Structure 1
Amino acid sequence: MLRLCIVQREASISTTRPVRTNERIRVPEVRLIDEDGTHIGVMRTRDALEMARERGLDLVEVQPNASPPVCRLMDYGKFRYEESRRERESRKKQRAVVVKEVRLRPKIDDHDLATKGRQAYRFLQSGDKVKISVLFRGREIAHQDIGEGLLNRLAEQLAPVAVVDQAPHMEGRTMVMMLSPKAPAPERGESERPEANEGSGAEQ
């Protein structure tokens, strides 16, 4: 049971606290696990270090509070790299979906519309979804075609970085369009998209 417990807990070495390796392990004895997870047993630290050197590996302390501390033979540099990569991938998967809103009025001028387009562009580049809404007040509700035209202009302007999840539609007195970030094309230069976006806004 002791052997199984040691191997099970060893798998989660903390990468946030300092980990002692090789000559930094100053205790006289350690309980050693080899690179395959086999429990070797208690041995002198200097003998464990010699074994690590012979195998071209590091001696890594994985349970410092045990008596004696538990150490494992491993390529510590490779371990840290793999752990860092897994943590980055995990953070990407766990990232909450954020919906940013950009609000327009039917009488917005071209300059302000271009500014709103650049704002939406930044949100999309950050990986957020974007809700673009046009609020109609009073008699403006009779001119829904104006709102639809504004949203379609922005959809065209943002086409290099966005896909339309929901086409323009009415929700009460507000016309809404939903956009999601488009997966970047692997061969497309990063500098091309901002220039195209700025040019689109300037022309409007």
Structure 2
Amino acid sequence: MSSACLRWALSHASRGVCGGTLNSWRTASGAGLLSYNGRCVSASLSWGWSPLSTTVDETEAGQVPKKKQDPRARATIGSIGRKIHQRHLQVINENGENMGTMHRADVLRLMDENGLKLVPLNENKDPPVYRLMTGKQIHEEQLKLREKQKAKTGPVQVKELTFSSDIGNHDLLTKLRQVQSWLDKKHHVRITLRTGRVEHTQPLDTTLEQMVQQIEGLVGFVSKPKVIRDGRAAMCILRPPSVKELKEMNKCAAAPATDTSSEPTTSPTAPPTDLTPDSQH
């Protein structure tokens, strides 16, 4: 095929692609483009998805850039044992003090002498940062991470409970045990106390607070007891205690025991013997 025929075939094919009808496209593809049919077909396919197409622009404009995750962020925390691949480490002791850069042999010696575990904090830094922790500290950090992950998983389920102010003591204890079981499952509990048949001089919010104090274990408040419905009811929302609140409660419980044990113990002494002349006979 001569160069003139080739130019005519290509120009005819371009007119068919850009402005021709379906019949003209078939004529152009069927007339003299036998040896260049594959190239023309590929051009027609690329024409439908050219950069000038609005579909491509809308797709690119609608794409939301993904957030880059920090490689230093750790989803879990745990000891690496004795497998330390790096020769030099930046070490933080169990009290949070920076001990500087240490050789891994010295780190292993500290672990053996003090019964500590090595936890990675930032392995991408040079030198990598590790912390010496006790087993109790690792457990507490794992509890904190679990609490944060549960808070991100989804909305908290709220249970509701309603009873009157003249409820019997046995029925009240049954209701409070139900509340405690819901709190153990990490649910929130909305309690509504309404006025009963018997009139009480005490405000309903005070009565509700006294009832909540009978729950075994520590509870937290999302909303403290308050009067609603023009004084005809009181409401509060309870939540499970946080790790920080549990730790403070354990400290308060351990403080009186420490004070009691530190007090000197005095043994009762026998009264002095009264040596009178009569007793000597």
TM bracket (short chain)? 0.3 to 0.5
Q: Which has the larger radius of gyration?
A: 2
TM-score, length-normalised on structure 2?
Answer: 0.31
Q: Which has the higher strand share?
A: 1
* Higher relative contact order (CA closer than 8 Å, sequence separation 6+): 1
TM-score, length-normalised on structure 1?
Answer: 0.40
